[in-house]
Chain A
Amino acid sequence: EAGVVQSPRYKIIEKKQPVAFWCNPISGHNTLYWYLQNLGQGPELLIRYENEEAVDDSQLPKDRFSAERLKGVDSTLKIQPAELGDSAVYLCASSAEPAAQYFGPGTRLTVT
């Protein structure tokens, strides 16, 4: 079974530019998560989707971050405009049962 797929794996952009990340969850997983992981720390949730509905976006900085999961499968996370402090790894995870979340390889973003 294929795991969670994320692209791109790496992205380098200049500050104030927009950037988008894509995630394809494990087939059949209705719940999708976007996490932010700073260097030396554990992941922190940005947003959680149940099918196409964002059920927890309390940690998403809505002034510059947005996400969508239009058909309840793939999802995109966007930052516009990016700031230097946004440099981090952005992880996507999915689950089909309570708690057992499976992570993708992440997108490492560097903002210069």
Chain B
Amino acid sequence: GQQLNQSPQSMFIQEGEDVSMNCTSSSIFNTWLWYKQDPGEGPVLLIALYKAGELTSNGRLTAQFGITRKDSFLNISASIPSDVGIYFCAGQPNFGNEKLTFGTGTRLTIIP
């Protein structure tokens, strides 16, 4: 099935560093979501974006809905060990309870 292009595929950082990842699509999405998935668990919703240009924060996480509606960005400031995991972006082309198209994921590893 179709998936969004997410980059980087993996990141190795030191605790305390800031993290940036992005997601791009060839088509327009009207909703962007960011999820985090730990091993053996389901994805957990971090941030939902519903408006082009929107910038939303959730603690140390900040996500932006790209103005072109074809991309979204997630930033994590001052990373901590519990930030380790796989981050997925997801987009929805139309408003409503329709299926989400997921990105390929960014695996975040914190180097001790």
Contact = CB atoms under 8 A, between A and B. Distances in A.
Contacts of A31: 97
B3 to A, nearest CB: 6
Contacts of B73: none
Interface of B: 1, 3, 31, 33, 35, 40-45, 48, 50, 88, 90, 92, 95-100, 102-105
A50 B45 contact: no
Contact of B88 (A42, A93, A100, A102): A42
Interface residues of A, number: 28
A95 B104 contact: no
A45 B1 CA distance: 9
- The main secondary structure of chain B at its interface with chain A is loop
Interface of A: 4, 6, 31, 33, 40-45, 48, 50, 56, 59, 91, 93, 95, 97-106, 108
Contacts of A33: 99
A45 B97 CA distance: 12
A45 B95 CA distance: 17
A44 B92 contact: no
Given A42-B102, A56-B99, A99 B92 contact: yes
